[in-house]
Amino acid sequence: MNKFEAAALPSASGLKPPPDTLPVSRLGTEQIPLAQRFDAWHEASAPLFDTTCLGDPGTFDAGATCYLVDALVFTRVHFGRMRFNRGAAHLSDGESDCITVQYYRSGSITGRLDDGTPLHMAPDRISVQDFAYAYTGTGETTENFGVVIPRRLLTGHDRIYRYSPMFSWSLDSPQGRLLTSSLAAIWRDLPLATRSQSRAIASGFVGLLNGLLSAKPAMEDRGALENAALRAMQDYLRANLLRLDLDVADLCREFHCSRATLYRLFQPHGGVKTYVRALRLEGAFRELTLARGHTRGRVREIAERWGFSNFSHFHRSFKQRFDLSPSDVLPPPAKTVALNLDTEPTYLDDVARLRGWLERF
C-alpha cells in the first residue's frame, strides 16, 4: 500500500467529521445514471476546458472528490479516455488564471500547449501546468490527484508563464518526494479538517511550492520546506514500520540529510526512536481492535510483529500510551447509520458546486 492508498482509507480512529468540515463536491459514478455520467463531468469541468469522450458516452466512467480549501481546490478524479481542449474562451486576463499541480497515479495525458510546449503527465512524475495557456490533450483511463491554485499566490508565476508553462519533477527527486508526501498528508487530513483550518492548510502547501520554485526561498517558505521534509520522512517511517532493522541511518540515506538535521526535525516528537515507537504502538492498537480471540499468546504475536520483543515492556508502554492494557482492546461494535434519503443532495448539486468553484479561475 502506498501513501496515496493510505490517504484514501477511512480513518482508523473511527472519528466522525466535525460539523464545520470543508466544502466538498463528490461526483461518484454510483450516484449518477450511466447515460448521464459524461454530461455531468463535462458540465462540472466546463470552466477549465471542453471535453470530448473518446468512446461511447453511454459507458463513460468518471468520478471526482474535490475540496475547497481557502482559495485552493484539491481534487481526486478518475476518468475514461477523453480529449481536453482549453481554448481562448477559457482564458482570463491573466489575474485569475490558475496554475495546477497534478500527480497521476495511473494513466497519462499527452498533448501540446498553444506556444508549442509539449504536454505530458504520467505516474513517474508530478507536474506543474500554467493554465494561462490554451492547450489540447488526450487522456487515457486515468486516476490523479491535483491542486488548482490561483496564480497570484505563487511568487514565481511570471517566471513559469514566460519560461516553463509546463514542467515536472521526477517522483524520485527531492522536489517530487516533498510534493507527493505533502499531497498525501493533506488528503489524509481533509475529511476531518475544518473551515477554520483551511487557510493554514492552503498556506502550507503554497509555501512549500513557492519554496521549491525559488532558488533562495524566503524564511516562511523554508519553514514549509522543512515541514514537508518532515512529513515525507514520517510517511517513509509509516510505510516501513514492520522493518525491525529500520534506523536513523536509513532516513539519512533516503533523504540525503545529516543526523543533526534529522534530530532537529524530530525534536518536537521526542526524537526518531520515540516517534517510531509511538507509531508502532498505534499499529499494534489497530491490529488488536481487528483481532479475534485476545489470548495472551495472540497479543504477544501482535506485539512481536510490531517490533516489541519484550512483552512486559510492550504491556507497560501500551498502557501508558492508551490507558488500557492490550487485552482490553476489543473490536468496536458495528454501527448502522440510517440515511435520510429525503435530505441527501443529488449529484446535480455537486456538479453545480464544483463548477462554481472552478469559475473563479
Decide if domain 3-12+21-196 falls under CATH 2.60.120.10: yes
Residue with grid cell 517510531, as numbered in its chain = 276
**Contact yes or no for 117/151 (Cβ under 8 A):** no
CA distances, 112 to each of 44, 136, 151, 160, 355 (Å): 23, 6, 20, 16, 25
Angle, in degrees to the nearest 10, between helices 198-213 and 174-189:
170
pLDDT score for 66: 94
Distance of alpha carbon 219 from the chain centroid: 25
Indicate the helix (H) or strand (E) that contains 49: none
| Measured distance CA(3)–CA(201) in Å, rounded | 18
Contact between residue 329 and residue 20 where contact means Cβ atoms under 8 Å apart: no
Per-residue burial over 11-28, b = 16 or more CB atoms within 10 Å of its CB, e = otherwise? eeeeeeeeeeebebbbbe
Distance CA 83, CA 89 (A): 17
Q: Looking up cell 498556506, which residue turns up?
A: 203
Is the Cα torsion angle 287, 292, 295, 298 positive or negative in sign?
negative
Regarding pTM above 0.75, the answer is no
- Identical fold, 3-12+21-196 and 240-328: no
CB neighbours (10 Å) of residue 35? 11
- Angle, helices 259-266/272-290, rounded to nearest 10 degrees: 60
CA atoms of 209 and 302, how far apart (whole Å): 40
Regarding the domain delimited by 240-328, which CATH topology (the fold level of the hierarchy) does it fall under? Answer: Arc Repressor Mutant, subunit A (1.10.10)
Interatomic CA distance for residues 23 and 194, integer angstroms: 9
Q: Where are the domains of the chain?
A: 3-12+21-196, 240-328
Question: What pLDDT tens digit does each residue of the chain (361 aa) get?
Answer: 456 654 443 333 344 555 688 999 988 877 788 888 889 888 999 988 999 999 888 888 888 999 999 999 999 999 999 999 998 888 875 555 899 999 999 999 999 998 889 999 999 999 999 999 999 999 989 999 999 999 889 988 888 888 889 999 999 888 898 899 889 889 988 988 889 889 989 988 998 898 888 765 565 566 777 777 888 888 788 878 888 888 888 888 877 788 888 888 898 888 888 989 988 998 888 888 776 655 667 788 888 888 898 888 888 898 888 888 887 775 545 454 454 544 444 678 888 888 888 887 7
User: Cell 491554485 sits at which residue?
Assistant: 149
pLDDT for 2 equals: 57
Quote the CA–CA distance of 109 and 82 in Å, as a whole number.
9
Which stretches within the chain are classed as H helix? 3-8, 37-45, 157-163, 174-189, 198-213, 219-239, 248-255, 259-266, 272-290, 296-305, 311-322, 347-358
Which residues are CB-contacts of 14 (< 8 A; sequence separation ≥ 6)?
332
